[in-house]
Copies of this chain bind each other. A is one copy, B any other.
């Protein structure tokens, strides 16, 4: 099946009458063909790819989308779903002959149910808007990531987004109870069940979640909410090593009653470039090799979280796990501490070319992975800067590189694949993944095949063929 798809020459033009049919099915202004108007939908976050679609549609309802999809299916035209277009792997980059379907107009937050702890949202709803609607109802929607101001929940679901809350609350998959999906032939699957328990067939929602738009369009979802945190305590700690971070995490989980909401590791290089290029203010006396940003939270009012945190830090000092630390005294200070972690990507952009990896390994293997992979890339290219950071609590390390001082950016980026070829096999040796939370998209679609067994490739191909037999959904990506 896979090879059939690959060998088929895909058409790069659109059939006659196709655009007219779309215009007839959709409301005015929902079919975009003007070159200037197309541009925002063809851009790609990191500038690695350029979209080539000549048509973008922006349906307003599930019915409109279903009509458009049926027209595409009839005409054999490939479809590329797009949410906030903030993805990092080119998952919504279009080829010539395909159309982009933007979900941004289907952005209603239909319901927030504070008794069932669920929200019902449309795919184009911006993550930050959902967070806010939940908070307005005294609840928490815990999905949180850098792009939250512009990414959409549909994109989060398509890529099974992770972010900083996974340790405590799970990935987007775990946060999603129900889905509505427009299938590749234009039929609609209504799986919008606001249920915490339901075993009435295969878990269809889990087939669509994380499928990166390769099986259909997520149009709406029922997501889980949690009691709103009433107290947060945030510390920035200097650590001697990533191994110390692990022991500190374990200590913090146990001593706090598993109230660790975030546990982010940051190398000194990563911290340094945020201070130099992205407005970070270093909060400790002296630079150290590693830092952890730790947040405890509780939905209980007047809890003793701060005392508990002080106790954890005191114990960690004694055990040599922490060398220096600051516990935020105010929300302002908390935000300044978070800047050090959140602006790492921005700082990396300003510090020159970067080669990125989205690795996960078993939590206990994080220190060994960092050590081995750092040595290997430094051996390959003396002067390369390892800019490692990430969600150590769930084993997910953004093992990024910034170019050596003085090197040309383009020359450095020319080493992308070779550096991948050094880092990724090391992740595999630790039973890790080379695609932890950003997805596969266009960026890793070829390489990922080397990391899946023949049986796994076959199972993936069977599922794709079962649900999208014409291979119309986001073709040439993911699978």
Contacts and interface: CB of A to CB of B under 8 A. Distances in A.
Interface stretch (A34-42, A48-56, A296-304, A338-346): A296-304
A160 interface: yes
Contacts of A4: none
Instruction: Please give me the 5 A-B residue pairs with the lowest Cβ-Cβ distance, nearest first.
Output: A206-B206, A257-B300, A115-B364, A466-B466, A196-B394
Interface of A: 113-118, 159-160, 162, 166-167, 170-171, 173-174, 183, 187-191, 193-204, 206-207, 209-211, 226-227, 246, 250, 253-259, 298-301, 303-304, 308, 360-365, 391, 394-396, 431-440, 448, 451-453, 455-456, 459-460, 462-467, 478-479
B364 A116 contact: yes
A118 B395 CA distance: 12
Given A193-B433, A197-B396, 16 more contacts: A116-B363, A159-B199, A187-B455, A190-B455, A199-B210, A200-B448, A200-B451, A201-B448, A202-B207, A203-B209, A206-B207, A253-B299, A256-B300, A257-B303, A304-B304, A463-B466
A61 B362 CA distance: 25
A478 B115 CA distance: 32
Contacts of A210: 199, 202-203
A364 B195 contact: no
Given A160-B199, A436-B198, A193 B431 contact: yes
A434 B200 contact: yes
Given A207-B207, A227-B254, A360 B463 contact: no
A186 to B, nearest CB: 11
Nearest to A254: B227
A202 B195 contact: no
A434 B435 CA distance: 37
A170 B162 contact: no
B460 A197 contact: no
Contacts of A456: 189-191, 201, 204
A174 to B, nearest CB: 6
A363 B462 contact: no
11 contacts: A115-B363, A160-B203, A174-B174, A189-B455, A197-B433, A197-B437, A199-B436, A202-B210, A202-B479, A257-B257, A463-B466
Contacts of A439: 199
Contacts of A364: 113, 115-116
A255 B300 contact: yes
A363 B196 contact: yes
Nearest to A464: B202
Nearest to A433: B198
Contacts of A189: 453, 455-456, 459
B198 A360 contact: yes
Counting chain B CB atoms within 10 Å of each CB, the highest count among A188, A201, A435 belongs to A201
Nearest to A437: B197
Contact of A204 (B170, B250, B257, B460): B460
Contact of A299 (B188, B196, B254, B362): B254
A362 B431 contact: no
A433 B196 CA distance: 10
B258 A200 contact: no
Given A187-B455, A466-B465, A395 B197 contact: yes
Contact of A203 (B166, B206, B303, B432): B206
